[in-house]
Amino acid sequence: NAGVTQTPKFRVLKTGQSMTLLCAQDMNHEYMYWYRQDPGMGLRLIHYSVGEGTTAKGEVPDGYNVSRLKKQNFLLGLESAAPSQTSVYFCASRLGKGPTVETQYFGPGTRLLVL
Amino acid sequence: EDQVTQSPEALRLQEGESSSLNCSYTVSGLRGLFWYRQDPGKGPEFLFTLYSAGEEKEKERLKATLTKKESFLHITAPKPEDSATYLCAVHPGRRALTFGSGTRLQVQP
């Protein structure tokens, strides 16, 4: 199993450009998440999905959109990038079944620089 | 509001010098507390989950404990390869984790 994979690994954008980050998991997980990580601020939740075709806002959703058309994929879009969106983006997933909270597994991250 | 505070922010140890990292939390309805390890340029790697006060888990030189207000990650006789950022997160009953900002651990030979 590849686990959670993310593409691209690194990207440079100019202010106002758009892009899509792709997250894929091969563990048949129901729940998927997008976080951003900034120095000194920890990981903050952007959007999440509890199943195919569903999405919900997290702590810092402004400026981002997401889609979950297929169970294994979770896309994060930036319609008009801003320098404040310079960050490292992590995708995560968990099984989402059963009474206890299972482990979230993380991808390797996408480093985004907005100039 | 759910909050997770980790201390210290950074810790430098000599190889073999045992210590503890702290994670204090304020959350309504804790459903789990998670410890992750993160190496530079990589994603967080799962270490432990603790579900109830009094629970303890061990893995090699690491031991995690949980009370109603905080968790400790004890590192016994650390080695340089234990150098990393250690993240604590709580699952408060909503659908995602709330993370602390981490403790950067450096173990010198």
Q: Give the pLDDT band of residue B94 (cuts 50, 70, 90).
A: low
Residue of B nearest to A104 (CA): B46
d(CA A47, CA A57): 5
Query: What is the mean pLDDT of the segment spanning B32-57?
Result: 96
Residues 6 or more apart in contact with residue A113 via CB below 8 angstroms: A10, A11, A12, A13, A86
Please, are residues B73 and B11 in contact by the beta-carbon 8 Å criterion?
no
Neighbours of B35 (CB within 10 A): 23
Flag whether residue B29 sits within 8 Å of chain A, measured between CB atoms.
no
Residue of B nearest to A55 (CA): B95
CB contact under 8 A, B95 and A107: no
Residue A6 β-bridge partners: A23
Cα–Cα distances in angstroms (integers) from residue A85 to residues A12, A45, A99, B55, B83, in the given order: 11, 13, 36, 39, 29
CB contact under 8 A, A106 and B95: no
Residue B74 phi/psi, 5-degree rounding, is: -90, 130
Flag whether residue A33 sits within 8 Å of chain B, measured between CB atoms.
yes
Residues 6 or more apart in contact with residue B67 via CB below 8 angstroms: B53, B54
Is A10's pLDDT higher than 70? yes
Please, are residues B33 and B5 in contact by the beta-carbon 8 Å criterion?
no
Query: What is the mean pLDDT of the segment spanning B83-92?
Result: 94
Confidence at residue A100, expressed as pLDDT on a 0 to 100 scale = 76
Q: Give the pLDDT band of residue A101 (cuts 50, 70, 90).
A: confident
- H or E element: which one contains A88? strand A87-94
Flag whether residue A43 sits within 8 Å of chain B, measured between CB atoms.
yes
Q: Give the pLDDT band of residue A38 (cuts 50, 70, 90).
A: very high
Q: How many Å lie between the alpha carbon of A48 and the closest alpha carbon of chain B?
A: 8
Is A24's pLDDT higher than 80? yes
Give B45's contacts in chain A (Cβ within 8 Å): 106
Please, are residues A108 and A35 in contact by the beta-carbon 8 Å criterion?
no
d(CA A39, CA A7): 22
Confidence at residue A96, expressed as pLDDT on a 0 to 100 scale = 82
What is chain A's Cα-based Rg?
A: 14
Q: What is the mean pLDDT of chain B?
A: 94
Query: What is the mean pLDDT of the segment spanning B64-80?
Result: 97
Q: Give the pLDDT band of residue A42 (cuts 50, 70, 90).
A: confident
| Three-class SS of chain B | CCEEEEECCEEEEECCCCEEEEEEEECCCCCEEEEEEECCCCCCEEEEEECCCCCEEEECCEEEEECCCEEEEEECCCCHHHCEEEEEEEECCCCCCEECCCEEEEEEC
Cα–Cα distances in angstroms (integers) from residue B24 to residues A55, A62, B35, B39, B61, in the given order: 30, 29, 12, 22, 22
Confidence at residue A2, expressed as pLDDT on a 0 to 100 scale = 82
3-class DSSP state for residue A41?
A: coil
